[in-house]
Amino acid sequence: MEPVIHLRGAVGLLGRFPALAGVDLTVDRSEIVLLQGPNGAGKSTLLRLCAGLLPVAAGSAHVLGVDLVDDPTPVRVRVGLLAHATFLYDELTVADNVRFWTRAARADQADGQRAMERLGVAGRLADVPVARLSTGQRRRTALAVLVARRPELWLLDEPHAGLDQEGRDVLDALVVEAAAAGATVLIASHELDRAAGLAPRHVTIAGGVIVADSAVDRVP
């Protein structure tokens, strides 16, 4: 079966400058992979490259069968990116935001309502403008949008940041369920105690290259 992520010597382009130093990474369907590394190692950049948001300057990059060198746009609607930014309109309510982004992605509105309930932002919070939410509530709303879109590839950048214990438990459950349903999950995190238990495979990135991969290290 074709891997979901297949990068060979991939270098992204941040503006006019190269980012990453030639990443080799293969991730199969339904895998949950923890991407760890120090600040500035290239974790977020790698996630953005996989989402099709960064041009590939060198090497090859295929995500969900799409050649990102040729045209990254077809892959974008099939991935769910949870970044440091929440991708929400401050002036719109929680329900408005979830409705807008699920419609934009041609996803089912019922999935949006279910995701809001699962993340605890339905009911009273649904009619509150995002600008008035706490950091954790904004994070939950962003997650609700991601879940409602039913992406084939989840790209989570510090997903536990800002969430309370209950939110973290819900997030972990959602990740496990998504992988069981066939989605692939790539988690960039510094919270190793939390994320390491969630992801059977650990990949370490430093200086823009993969320096350790538990899947490769296991091979005799």
Partner 1 sequence: MFRDARLIAAKDLRIELRSKVTAGQVLPFALLLLVLFAFGLDPDGPTLAAATPGLFWVGVLFVTVLAVERTFSIEGGDGVRDALRLAGLEPGGIFLGKWFALAVQLAVVELVMLGGVVLLYDRELHGIGLLLASSLAATCGIAAAGTLYGVLAAGLRVRETLLPFLLLPVLAPVLIAATRAFESALDGVPSDGWPWFNLLAVFALVYIGIGILTFGSLLEES
Residues lying near partner 1 in the complex (CB under 8 A) are found at 51-53, 76-77, 79, 81, 83-92, 96, 100-101, 103-106, 129
For partner 1, give the closer residue by CB, 104 or 176.
Answer: 104
Least distance CB 17 / partner 1 (angstroms): 15
Rounded Cα distance between 100 and 84, Å, is 20
DSSP 53: -
Q: What are phi and psi of 62, to 5 degrees?
A: -120, 125
Least distance CB 212 / partner 1 (angstroms): 29
Alpha helices by DSSP H, 88-129: 94-104, 109-119
For partner 1, give the closer residue by CB, 29 or 76.
Answer: 76
Cα distances (angstroms) measured from residue 155 to each of 43, 47, 52, 109, 146: 11, 6, 11, 22, 10
Q: Are 35 and 186 in contact (CB under 8 A)?
A: yes
Task: Tell me which amino acid residue 128 is.
Answer: V
Least distance CB 22 / partner 1 (angstroms): 24
Least distance CB 192 / partner 1 (angstroms): 25
For partner 1, give the closer residue by CB, 139 or 202.
Answer: 139
For partner 1, give the closer residue by CB, 57 or 209.
Answer: 57
